[in-house]
Amino acid sequence: MNKVKKFTKGTRFRVISGRTCFYTTAGMIRAGVGDFMDFNKALQESLKSLEDARKYGGPIMGACVGHSGFWNGFDIQLNMAQNP
């Protein structure tokens, strides 16, 4: 098992879903970034999936800084932000 841990609250991410793009933090994703529960849940599942891939996916996935997929009815691309 890798020693990769959960993202800290302050880890910044760029979120892309459909025609929407914004920057946020892991803490805000966990708390909910907006008014729509379905989208918040999808984004939380995406973050958890990225954390799990980094933790359990072996050394190559441990270096993964983003991914994309379909969660809870939403296409989401989630990337660690460099310096927006």
pLDDT value of residue 59? 72
Chain mean pLDDT for the chain: 89
Q: Note the pLDDT tens digit of each residue in 40-52.
A: 999 999 999 999 8
Tell me the C-alpha distance between 43 and 29, whole Å.
7
Specify the pTM: 0.87
Q: What is the rounded average pLDDT of the residues 1-16?
A: 84
Query: Is pLDDT of 1 > 80?
Result: no
pLDDT value of residue 83? 62
HEC assignment per residue over the chain: CCCCCCCCCCCEEEEEECCEEEEEEHHHHHHCCCCCHHHHHHHHHHHHHHHHHHHHCHHHHHCCCEEEEEECCEEEEEEECCCC
Confidence of residue 37 (pLDDT cuts 50, 70, 90): very high
CB atoms within 10 A of CB 7: 19
